[in-house]
Amino acid sequence: MIPFNDRSGKMWLDGELVEWRDAKLHVLSHGLHYASAVFEGERVYRGQIFKLAEHTERLAQSARILDFELPFSLEQINAACNEVVLAAEITDGYVRPIAWRGSEMMGVSAQQSQIHLSIAAWEWPTYFAPEARMKGIRMQTSKWRRPSSDTAPVHSKAAGLYMTGTLAKHAAEAAGYADALMLDYRGLVSEGTGANIFLVIDGKIHTPIPDCFLDGITRRTVIALARARKIDVIERHIEPCELGNAQEVLLTGTAAEVTPVSEIDEHTFVPGLITQQLIDDYDAEVRR
């Protein structure tokens, strides 16, 4: 595997394309020490970034939630993302914009710090291995919980929120699972470590209310696709024991796309007609 800091090509940093290997920040950066960083993950299909405007708006909103403004307009960021994809000659890949507080202040308070923004893009086929996609992935419930909205900035795609996600995913992988299911602070089903979750129960789709985790752009897309197929989608609080009532379970995310789940702890699921329909509809939607 080629490390991400040692690749050739160009990426975008603070307003211009720079050599990939030269896109550096100082170790004394607030973003590194205090997690004052927000980012996006976007997919490129056939050279086009899917839902670019929504991702850029979410990036700006994530920054505002962390009490800073991006130093570029939405239009400038959209143009920069497209420029990076063109420069890197990406047909099917991934785009990673990230904004962070710089080095002007090294303390909890960082009112005067400058905001930086970088955008990189790279080739990236599927998040979970293709064979896993069809069979479904195995998941384990994590001991880590998603915090309430008065404990953490849960609606921001903030770097700091991924600390427990990484711990949860590491524990799951060490036990032979592909991902972790995270419950929320109330003990309700919330999401995976980087994707939202849907249950199919007797022909209807049930998905948790995103009141303490990211309301994914893919989640909203898949809800609309399901409703267009006249499949009922019910957003509600879901208890972990209800996993036992589900026939199909799936994850949605920019990277995960629509990924069937075959197992969560003692519960097993068989990816069926609704999952297949949503995979097909999502694939068609992103390549329209």
Please state the φ and ψ torsions of residue 282, each to the nearest 5 degrees: -65, -45
Catalytic residue among 24, 51, 135, 157: 157
3-state secondary structure of 177: coil
Task: Tell me the closest approach of the beta carbon of residue 43 to ligand PMP, in angstroms.
Answer: 8
Please state the φ and ψ torsions of residue 211, each to the nearest 5 degrees: -95, -5
Helices (H), the chain: 30-34, 52-65, 74-87, 130-135, 162-174, 217-228, 273-286
Whichever of 21 and 64 has its CB closer to ligand PMP, that residue is: 64
Whichever of 110 and 279 has its CB closer to ligand PMP, that residue is: 279
Q: String of b and e for 79-97 (b: at least 16 CB within 10 Å)?
A: ebbbbbbeebebeebbbbb
Residue 157 appears among annotated catalytic residues: yes
Footprint of ligand PMP on 166-205 (CB under 6 A): 191, 194-196
Closest CA to 115 of 167, 63, 153, 162: 63
Task: Tell me the closest approach of the beta carbon of residue 22 to ligand PMP, in angstroms.
Answer: 28
Tell me, by CB under 6 A, how many residues bind ligand PMP. Answer: 14
Site string for ligand PMP, 199-228 (x = CB under 6 A): --------------xx-xxxx---------
Whichever of 221 and 262 has its CB closer to ligand PMP, that residue is: 221
Site string for ligand PMP, 50-89 (x = CB under 6 A): ----------------------------------------
Alpha-carbon gap, residue 60 to 228, rounded angstroms: 30
Residue of 141, 207, 254, 275 interacting with ligand PMP (CB under 6 A) = 254
Contact between 253 and ligand PMP per CB under 6 A: yes
Burial class (CB in 10 A: 0-12, 13-18, 19+), 172: buried
Q: Report the run of H or E that residue 19 belongs to, with start and end.
A: strand 16-19
47: left (phi over 0), alpha (psi -120 to 50) or beta: left
Footprint of ligand PMP on 17-46 (CB under 6 A): 41
Give me the residues that bind ligand PMP (CB under 6 A), please: 41, 191, 194-196, 213-214, 216-219, 252-254
Active-site residue set = 157
